[in-house]
């Protein structure tokens, strides 16, 4: 039966009822959804200092890599992105491939942490975590994996403490901030971070998160929810969707003095590349990085453009250095099927080959 406008009324009514049925089923699934499980790979808390916690994952193999690897994640999100669900876990994959992993959890800064600086995070927490691993394992060096902003911190750390780092792996890491690509990099140049820090002390994570969503507003605030409607009657898809939502909105507040220096010295003045950056009175010279380097970037990264990451290989003195790209976006580096099939195996093999 067709209307005067040529619309198939019977077909339209059926589609409307199907959508309504799927929506009601989706509501039922959401109401009965069990607690969203993330960060499920077994690990032990081995060291803590203030809000920083150092975890050691239980090895999956009888003879794991003899040089342990410390993962340093960004301050702006939670590290369980790398262990978001069992079948899409970079952590689990690396353990199965024979790595011995530690990870730093920065926790959730509060007003008492407003004066924490990059010096506290790098010369303090990261260095203390590395020292704990070295002393407890009676070894001289660790491998470092730095992720996003954690990669910038790991790069700075490696330049200040090269004798403690066996190899450095950076993932989607901003290094050169004086680039033309990337909306975040353009905002960073003009952001009045001094006024924000003076006003808030600790920058709210929700404010940061809203800024990140504005980088891709249609995709992150509309398109994904429209796409969700197609799968609302699938419990597993909905569970995975809710895991990602949990991570996206689980944004820690940011210690004011740290983000002040990060924006002013790096986004605005590009001091890391210029060789004028100082952290805790120590000058950061990227030429001090002489250990093997694996620099991994995402070809479709809207947060950290490839140009920013790729610059690192030309700034270090390492003779053994490799630049590797994958055709994924920033988040796809951790949760995509390519990540599980290609990225984690590449990292594990490279680290093991450089830990003999």
As a whole number of angstroms, the distance between CA 345 and CA 272 comes to 30
Q: How many CB atoms lie within 10 A of CB 18?
A: 10
Q: How many CB atoms lie within 10 A of CB 342?
A: 15
Catalytic choice (29, 90, 104, 148): 148
Q: Answer whether 99's CB lies under 8 Å from 69's CB.
A: yes
Q: Answer whether 253's CB lies under 8 Å from 108's CB.
A: yes
Within 13 A of 344's CA, how many CA atoms are on the CB side? Answer: 24
User: Which residue in 169, 103, 172 sits closest to 346, CA to CA?
Assistant: 169
Q: Answer whether 113's CB lies under 8 Å from 255's CB.
A: yes
148 belongs to the catalytic site: yes
Task: Tell me which residue has tokens 């060291």.
Answer: 47
Q: Per residue in 75-103, is it b (16+ CB within 10 Å) or e — as a string?
A: bbbbbbbbbbbeebbbbbbbbebbbbbbb
Q: Answer whether 241's CB lies under 8 Å from 228's CB.
A: yes
As a whole number of angstroms, the distance between CA 313 and CA 320 comes to 10
Task: Tell me which residue has tokens 């690509």.
Answer: 181
Residues annotated as catalytic are 148
């Amino acid at each position: 039966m067709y209307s005067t406008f040529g619309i198939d009324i019977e077909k339209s009514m059926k589609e409307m009822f199907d959508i309504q049925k799927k929506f009601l089923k989706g509501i039922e699934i959401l109401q009965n959804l069990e607690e969203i499980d993330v960060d499920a790979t077994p690990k032990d808390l081995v060291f803590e200092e203030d809000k920083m916690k150092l975890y050691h994952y239980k090895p999956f193999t009888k003879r794991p890599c003899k040089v342990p690897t410390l993962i340093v994640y960004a301050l702006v999100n939670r590290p369980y992105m790398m262990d978001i669900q069992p079948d899409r876990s970079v952590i689990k994959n690396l353990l199965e491939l024979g790595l011995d992993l530690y990870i730093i959890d920065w926790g959730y800064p509060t007003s008492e942490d407003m004066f924490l600086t990059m010096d506290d995070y790098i010369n303090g927490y990261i260095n203390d975590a590395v020292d704990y691993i070295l002393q407890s394992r009676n070894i001289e060096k660790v491998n470092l994996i730095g992720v996003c902003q954690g990669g910038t911190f790991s790069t700075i750390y490696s330049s200040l403490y090269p004798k403690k780092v066996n190899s450095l792996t950076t993932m989607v890491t901003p290094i050169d901030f004086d680039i033309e690509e990337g909306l975040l990099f353009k905002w960073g140049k003009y952001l009045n971070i001094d006024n924000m820090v003076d006003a808030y002390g600790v920058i709210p994570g929700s404010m940061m998160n809203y800024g990140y969503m504005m980088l891709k507003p249609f995709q992150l605030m509309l398109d994904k929810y429209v796409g969700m409607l197609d799968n609302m009657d699938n419990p597993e898809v909905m569970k995975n969707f809710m895991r990602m939502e949990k991570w996206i909105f689980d944004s820690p507040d940011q210690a004011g003095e740290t983000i002040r220096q990060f924006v002013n010295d790096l986004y605005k003045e590009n001091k890391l590349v210029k060789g004028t950056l100082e952290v805790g009175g120590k000058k950061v010279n990227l030429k001090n990085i002489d250990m093997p380097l694996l620099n991994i970037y995402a070809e479709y990264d809207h947060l950290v453009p490839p140009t920013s990451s790729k610059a690192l290989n030309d700034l270090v003195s390492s003779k053994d250095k490799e630049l590797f790209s994958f055709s994924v976006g920033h988040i796809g580096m951790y949760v995509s099927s390519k990540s599980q099939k290609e990225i984690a195996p590449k990292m594990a093999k490279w680290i093991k080959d450089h830990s003999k």
